[in-house]
Structure 1
Amino acid sequence: MPSTPHRWITTPLTAGLVRGALDLEPTAQGILPHRLPAWARDQNTDGQLAMAESQPSGVRLVFRTRATAVELDTLPTKRIYVGAPPRPQGHYDLIVDGRPAGRAIATGGNTVTIDLGTGALEHGTGPVATLRFAGLSDEDKTVEIWLPHNETTELVALRTDAPVRPADASGRRTWLHHGSSISHGSDAASPTTTWPALAAARGGVELVNLGLAGSALLDPFVARTIRDTPADLISVKIGINLVNADLMRLRAFAPAVHGFLDTIREGHPTAPLLVVSPILCPIHEDTPGPTAFDFSRLGDGRLLFTAAGDPADGAEGRLTLNVIRDELERVVARRAANDPNLHHLDGRDLYGEADHRELPLPDRLHPDAATHRRMGERFAAHAFASEGGPFAEAEG
C-alpha cells in the first residue's frame, strides 16, 4: 500500500490511458486488458490462445503528468510448469519521454500451474502487487508503463502525486502486427525489448501487437479483428505455428492465406501490408510437425523442443518451413500484381543461417534477448527505410 496516502491522487483506469489493448474487461479487482475483442474470444475454443491473448504484449499505460512518483496496483497471473525450469518473472518497463527510466517486477498475484505431461491446470489465488516508480522530474512529461508481455495482468489502481491526463498520440501512425510466440515476445528480456516493440520505437509508430504465442493459425476471427482495428500499417508473420500444431496440409494452406488477406483487405484496402515468412528454425526447415517437448536436458535446467514429424511426409502435403516460405512468396507475388501495397519479407532476413551459428535458438524454437534486438533492428531498417521501405512515410 502507498506509504503516504494523503499525497496520492487516484486516477480511474480507462481506455484513454491504455494503448495496445483491443478490449478492457471489468473484473472484481479492476480491468483486464485483452488483445482480442470479446466477440473474437467467444469464437475461440483453444485454451492456449485464450491465455496468449490475455497476456498484454505491447499493452501500456500512457499519460502526461508532472508527478515525481507513480504507483500501480496490479494482479498478475504467473505460470508454473510442473517439471520444467521456472518461467522468468514478468517485467514492467517505465518509459519517460521516450527513454527507459525504470523496471519493476510484481510479486504475489495469482498462479496457474500446468502439468506438461497431462495438460492439467490448477489455479491459485494471491494478493494484489504494488509497483512504485519514484524520483521522476517534476516537469510535464509523457509516462509509459509497459505491462509484462508474458503475464496476464489485471490493472487495479493508478496513483500519482500530481494530476494525470491522457497523452496525445495524434500524428503517429499505428502499426498492427500479428504473429506467433516470437512476435508475442517469448524469451525477450522485457516488454519494450520484444522485437516488435523495438522495431516500433525505431520506426516512431504506435504498436498494436497481435503476436499470439502458439496461435498464429490463420483463424478467421483473428483476420476479422485485424480488419476491424484502426491501423495505418499492417504486418502478418505466418508459418511456424502451423507447423508446430501440424494443423493443415499444403492443399489448405494457400487458400487459407488468401482468405486471411482478403478479410484484412476488406477493412484496410490500401494500407501497406507486409507478409513475413518464418525465421530460420532448423528442426522444422524440412521436417513437419507436430512440435514436441524434449525433456532430455531438464537435468541441466533446459526444456527443449523437437520435431516429431517425418521428413518423408512432406510428399503427402504436410507443411515444413521451406514449403511455407515458397507458398507465401507465390501467394504474395500473385496478389501483388493487383495490390501494389502488398509486400513480402523472407523471415530469414531477420534471422538466418549466419545468425543461428552466432546466436542459436536456446530451446531450438525461440530466439533469445539478443536475437530479439537484432530482429527488431533489421525489421525497422527494412520496413521503415526512407527509400523503398514498405512502411516508409509518404512524401508531401
Structure 2
Amino acid sequence: MRGDALWTGYRHRAVDAAGWMTFWRLDPRGQQFGLTDWMGYPDRPGHRLWSRAATPAGVRAAWQTSASAVSLELRAELDIYTSIAPVDFLVGGTLHQRREVQPGEQRINVELPPGPMELEIWLPQAGAIAVREVSFEGEAVPQPPTGPRWITYGSSITQCTGAYGPSETWPALVARQHRWELVALGFAGECHLDPVAARTIRDTPARLISLCLGINIYGGETFSGRTLPGQIEEFISTVRDGHPHTPLVVITPLPAPELEGKPNALGLTLDDIRACVELGARSLGDPDLQLIDGRTVLSGEEAQNLYVDDVHPGPDGYRLIAERLAPLLTLPL
C-alpha cells in the first residue's frame, strides 16, 4: 500500500509535474537574485544558501506499521560542494538500516522486522534530494510529530554532512534523546545571519531555539568587529518578534586548533568573533537568553583528535557534541 507521509522539519515543499517533492528548509518563493541554482531557484554568485536550503537535513517521517517491507522512491544528485549522505530507517527509535544513496532515480527497499512497530525515515543531510513515494507491504498509518519543537540554526557543523547518517547528526541525536520535534537549519558555509533565516525562525512556532554563530562569519569574512555585534543583535531581535519569551541559546564557535589566533582578512581572530557574538547577544538584556562558549563543548585536544580538517568534526565528534549539548539544551518545567 502507498504510505502517505507526514514529512516534518522543512519550511516549504515544492512538487514538480512528475510528482517529485523537494523539501526546502527556507522558503525560496519570492527570492530574486538573478542567478539560478540547480533547482531553478536563486543563488547569488558565491552564495550557496538556496542549494543548501534544498538539502533535507533533519527532514523525516514516521509511521505505525506492521508491514513486512517499505520502499522509498528517491532522486539524488551530487552538488559541487558535498557528497550524498545515506537514508536512515529507524525501528522503535533504533537504527534498523542505513542505505547508501547513489546519484539518479532509485527505489530503496528495506525489509522490516515483525510488527507492530514505529518506523522513521530520515532523509539525507547532504546532497540534492527529492522524494516521490513511500510504499509498504502491509498496513501503515502516518504518525504526526510529537513533543515540543526545537529550532537550531548554524553552519556545516549543524548540518553535519560528515555524520554517519542523518539520524546521527548532533541535532538529530539531541532531539531523539529529548523526544523533541527537530527543525534543523544548518547550512554548510552559509550561516551568515541572513534575514530570511531570522524570519523563518521568527515565523515557526517553537519551544526552544538555539543559534550556533560565528565560524562561517570568521571564514567568510562577512562582518567586521564594528558591524558583527549589531548584526547579531538585529538577528536575535527579529527572532524575538515571533518568540518574545522562548528560551534562546546562543553558542559561540567551537575550538579550531589550527585557526585559533590567526586573524582573518578583516583582522578578527576566532576569539574576537566569540567576543562579538557575546556582545551582540548580551546587548538586548534578554533574561531568556543563555550563552554557551563553544570552547566548553569540546576541548582543543578533543578537537585535534576528532576533526577531519581545520573546522569540521568527524562522525564521533558529532556524537560527542550531542552528548555535551543535550544536558545544556533543556526546556523550562
Tell me the TM-score normalised to structure 1 length.
0.77
Residue 23 of structure 1 is matched in structure 2 by: 12
Asked whether the equivalents of residues 105 and 131 of structure 1 are also in contact (C-alpha less than 8 Å), the reply is no
Show CA shifts across 1:118-153 (max 9, x none): xxxxxxxxxx101111032231x2211101101121
1:249 aligns with 2:224: yes
Aligned partners of 2:30 and 2:163: how far apart in 1?
27
Gap change, CA 1:129 and 1:254, over 3 Å in 2: same
The higher radius of gyration belongs to: 1
Aligned partners of 1:76 and 1:91: how far apart in 2?
10
Structure 1 segments unaligned to the other structure (5+ residues): 1-8, 82-86, 110-127, 290-308, 384-390
1:358 aligns with 2:297: no
Percent identical residues: 31
Question: Per-residue deviation at 1:41?
Answer: 4.9
Aligned partners of 2:14 and 2:263: how far apart in 1?
38
Q: Which of 304, 312, 322 pairs up with 2:271?
A: 322
Question: Per-residue deviation at 1:351?
Answer: 1.9
Residue 90 of structure 1 is matched in structure 2 by: 85
Q: Could you say what the CA RMSD is over the residues aligned between the two structures, in angstroms?
A: 1.9
Structure 2 segments unaligned to the other structure (5+ residues): 34-41
Aligned partners of 1:45 and 1:79: how far apart in 2?
14
Where do 1:165-204 residues align within 5 Å?
Answer: 165-170=141-146, 172-204=147-179
Residue 123 of structure 2 is matched in structure 1 by: 147
1:135 aligns with 2:112: yes
Aligned partners of 1:25 and 1:343: how far apart in 2?
36
Residue 118 of structure 1 is matched in structure 2 by: none
Higher helix residue share: 1
Q: How many residues end up aligned between the 2 structures?
A: 322
SS in structure 2 of the partner of residue 284 of structure 1: coil
Residue 79 of structure 2 is matched in structure 1 by: 79
Residue 48 of structure 2 is matched in structure 1 by: 48
After alignment, is 229-238 or 327-336 more displaced? 327-336
Gap change, CA 1:173 and 1:41, over 3 Å in 2: farther
Q: Which of 23, 26, 34 pairs up with 1:33?
A: 23
Aligned partners of 2:85 and 2:278: how far apart in 1?
36
Show CA shifts across 1:282-340 (max 9, x none): 34322233xxxxxxxxxxxxxxxxxxx4xxx62xxxx321011112223333433xx22
Question: Per-residue deviation at 1:234?
Answer: 0.2
Q: Which of 5, 11, 14 pairs up with 2:3?
A: 11
1:38 maps to amino acid: P
Gap change, CA 1:215 and 1:143, over 3 Å in 2: same
SS in structure 1 of the partner of residue 22 of structure 2: strand
1:58 aligns with 2:58: yes
